[in-house]
A and B are shown apart, each in its own frame.
Chain A
Amino acid sequence: MIGPNRIGASPLSRASLLAFRVAGYALVAALFLAPLAWVLASSLRRPGPLYQYASPLSWRLFIPDRPTLANFAHALTSLGMDRALRNTAFVAVTTALAGLVVNSMAGFALAALSFPGKNMVFAAVMVAFMAPFDAIVIPLHRAVSSMGLVNSWAALILPAVGNGMAIFLFRQFYHEYPKEILEAARVDGASWLRLFWQVVLPSSGPALAAAAVLIFMHQWNSLFWPLVAAYSEKYTMAQVIVASQIAVDGTRWASLFATSVLSSIPPMMLFFLLQKHYLRGIGGFGGN
Chain B
Amino acid sequence: MKRVLSVALTLLILTAVTTALPAVGAGVGAAASAAAATRLEVVWMGWPKDLLDEQLAPFLQANPDIELDIQAVPFNQLFQTLEVRLASSQPPDVFIVDGPLTASYAHRGYLMPLDSLIYEEELAEFFPASVEACKYRGVLYALPYTSSAAGLYFNIDIFNEYGVELPPQKPGDRITWEHVLELARRLTVDSNGDGQPEVWGLLIEQSDRPYQLLPLAESLGARPLSPDGSTSEGFVNSEAFIKAARFYGDLFNAEKVSPVGILDAPVVREYFGSGKAAMMLGAEWNISRLAEFEGFNFGLSAHPAFEGGRAVTPTGGWHVGISSRIPSDKLDAALHFARYMTSREASAAWARLFGNAPARRDAYEALPDLFSNYMWEVLLYDMEHTASPRPVTPAYLEFEARLKDAFNAIQFGADPTEALNEAARLIDRELARYR
Contacts and interface: CB of A to CB of B under 8 A. Distances in A.
Given A247-B45, A270-B10, A223 B77 contact: yes
Contacts of A241: 49
B190 to A, nearest CB: 14
A203 B48 CA distance: 48
Contacts of A227: 71, 73, 77, 81
Contact of A150 (B17, B49, B90, B266): B90
A246 B88 contact: no
B69 A233 contact: yes
Interface size class of A (residues with CB under 8 A): 35 or more
Interface string B13-49: 1110111011111010100000000000101011111
Given A78-B50, A79-B48, A274-B10, A224 B80 contact: yes
Interface string A5-41: 0000000000000000000000000000000000000
A208 interface: yes
A137 B14 CA distance: 29
B92 interface: yes
B159 interface: no
B266 A151 contact: no
Nearest to A137: B84
Nearest to A205: B3
Interface stretch (B102-110, B252-260, B285-293, B301-309): B285-293
Please report whether the interface of chain A is mostly helix, strand, loop or mixed according to DSSP: helix
A100 B3 CA distance: 13
B4 A205 contact: yes
Interface size class of B (residues with CB under 8 A): 35 or more
The 3 A-B pairs of least Cβ separation, nearest first, read A205-B3, A244-B46, A243-B74
Given A47-B292, A224-B80, A86 B18 contact: yes
A89 B14 contact: yes
Nearest to A79: B49
Given A212-B7, A249-B354, A266 B18 contact: yes
B22 A204 contact: no
Interface of B: 1-4, 6-8, 10-15, 17-19, 21-25, 27, 29, 41, 43, 45-50, 53, 69-77, 80-81, 84-85, 87-90, 92, 206, 265-267, 270-271, 273-274, 276, 283, 285, 288-289, 292-294, 354-356
Nearest to A94: B15
Given A86-B18, A248-B206, A277-B3, A224 B77 contact: yes
B411 to A, nearest CB: 17
B228 to A, nearest CB: 31
Given A78-B25, A151-B90, A249-B285, A270 B270 contact: no
B15 A82 contact: no
A48 interface: yes
A76 B24 contact: yes
Nearest to A240: B74
A141 B274 contact: no
A270 B50 contact: no
Contact of A89 (B15, B71, B267): B15
B274 A49 contact: yes
Given A78-B49, A269-B14, 19 more contacts: A50-B274, A78-B25, A82-B23, A86-B18, A89-B14, A137-B84, A146-B89, A198-B1, A201-B4, A202-B4, A208-B4, A232-B69, A244-B49, A246-B76, A247-B74, A249-B283, A249-B285, A266-B18, A274-B7
B70 A252 contact: no
13 contacts: A47-B292, A82-B22, A82-B25, A86-B23, A93-B12, A202-B3, A233-B70, A247-B47, A249-B354, A251-B266, A252-B48, A269-B17, A270-B14
Contact of A205 (B7, B13, B74): B7
Contacts of B73: 227, 240, 244
Given A228-B81, A246-B76, A277-B6, A234 B29 contact: yes
A233 B428 CA distance: 41
Contacts of A285: none
A156 interface: no
A251 B267 CA distance: 9
Interface string A42-75: 0000011111100100000000000000000010
Nearest to A209: B7
A252 B49 CA distance: 12
